[in-house]
A and B are shown apart, each in its own frame.
Chain A
């Protein structure tokens, strides 16, 4: 295993992400200073709609990931724990609560409204209710039924979610004396669709051998899709990224020089441990596909803006049935020519982690793809046992090598 270190490469686009994030938060504070409402949203809230209302969205989950990646999340986790929140709760929620309880003097301005949709995550509503209790900020809870089959997206369930979106518009208009602007919505939908299109195309190019970009890029570069949807900046970011990726494919330039194993990564990334991706790459293993990278990429229909946003609310993230998730998983094995799968069982995210074993076993049975499941937390570095995890990775890569 030693003596095979190859050089890792990160996209130029990815190097701009840090600045883009800081700029995004700085603009949130500017908006707030100008008297515009700032919404704290959960990450599967349709930001396109908020653009049409001129409400500035920021996401405590995204904030938590950033705090973890930049190594200052402990301040907020410990603040929440000092107030009595259990370490067994989701680390994003602890970070968000800790931030709210410690005066909100950091990058993320205090909220004027708390908006969440009951999709994907089990914790959202209770978390947002707790924030409301601590801060006294108005709360909007949208409801999205679980999608059991793709047809659900076109039946009565869709009408139900459209009604929730209209409720949100009404609440915002009344609360903040705002006027919903349909033209702005169409524009936001157009930009959002474009950004998704560009990102999905870039992800598809990872089928090439060698893979033009890896996990370090995909984990960072989804950020504009999460909170910046419906902006020109997001589209511009993905245009540049796609251009760069196409260039790499054209030149046959991969993440590493000697690509030996093409891996699938399942889960949210461990934000404080990006060096783990490099650890794989140094050993010839590249991540070429992650379900997470596709979680926010959703094509929208310009002719039906509200319906298509409602569909996105329903279909994003984990709000779909496990069979649909498994189907996507299995399809990727062939499309991306996957040699092995790494599944991160995330202590914070039970909805993501619970079906992993079933998924992995089906994958193993059908395609004989070996897999590794390891346990840690996405944002709380205290739940990370580096030596133990690397021990398992080494063994897993040896299994791949022997095949």
Chain B
């Protein structure tokens, strides 16, 4: 058994694969401020479901922001891990758009899931999961509810600022003018989709296009971005664990090559 640990800015994800490279367990826990603790916790949870312990894991690959802070046999960047994960599940994918807590990425992959090119957001939080988290807090809605509300909107507002702090005051101003919450939410999804569209356009949207990362669990965002790029994306069942899955695949590859 092999494990991939993706210690992300917002959540820590663990995926365990067997010799046949099948996902046999996974776990997602909040990262908090201690990546070592969150990764241990996620690993423990994923193993408990299998009635196994850490000793049963032959090799661990870590990735994500906390990748160097946790116990692992090897470290890879998210770009490589996401590409491997997506390619394994959907070999026809050429472009991946991954939106996580603190980063958004667009990746162009070639044969065998090899990374050809990638772009990432600049250090601004606009266009990341954090942006939506901040907005959900102001709107007093759990982040999970944003998706359903999005589809009720008939008249989305226009959020013009790309800065999270300025967008926050725009949202407050729309709400105090009496705008419907669903219209504000759809406006926010459109704004983040626009931002990601601009960023990703440099590498293009060669089909098939897959969406991954925690934010791809939000159907409102997926709707806004699909419309913006005018393509129906491939969406993994659990988009948040693809990076950890790729890490687990790399763990198996590394181990096998070393033996």
Contacts and interface: CB of A to CB of B under 8 A. Distances in A.
Interface of A: 1-2, 357, 370, 375-376, 383, 385, 387-388, 391-392, 394-395, 398-399, 402
Interface of B: 65, 74-80, 102-103, 114-118, 120, 122-123, 202
Main secondary structure of the interface of A (DSSP, over half): helix
A395 B75 CA distance: 11
A375 B120 CA distance: 11
A398 B114 contact: no
Central interface residue in B74, B77, B117, B122, by most chain A CB within 10 Å: B77
Contacts of B78: 391, 395
A391 B121 CA distance: 12
13 contacts: A1-B74, A1-B75, A1-B76, A357-B202, A391-B65, A391-B77, A391-B103, A391-B120, A394-B75, A394-B76, A395-B115, A398-B76, A399-B117
Contact of A2 (B74, B77, B116): B74
A252 B35 CA distance: 43
B80 A2 contact: no
Contacts of B75: 1-2, 394
Given A1-B75, A1-B76, A387-B65, A395 B118 contact: yes
B103 A388 contact: yes
A383 B115 CA distance: 28
Given A385-B123, A402-B114, A402-B115, A395 B77 contact: yes
B141 to A, nearest CB: 28
A153 to B, nearest CB: 35
B85 to A, nearest CB: 14
A357 B201 CA distance: 13
B65 A398 contact: no
A399 B109 CA distance: 11
A399 B74 contact: no
A399 B119 CA distance: 12
A17 to B, nearest CB: 30
A392 B117 CA distance: 12
B203 to A, nearest CB: 11
Contacts of A394: 75-77
A385 B128 CA distance: 16
Contacts of A2: 74-75
A399 B118 contact: yes
Nearest to A402: B114
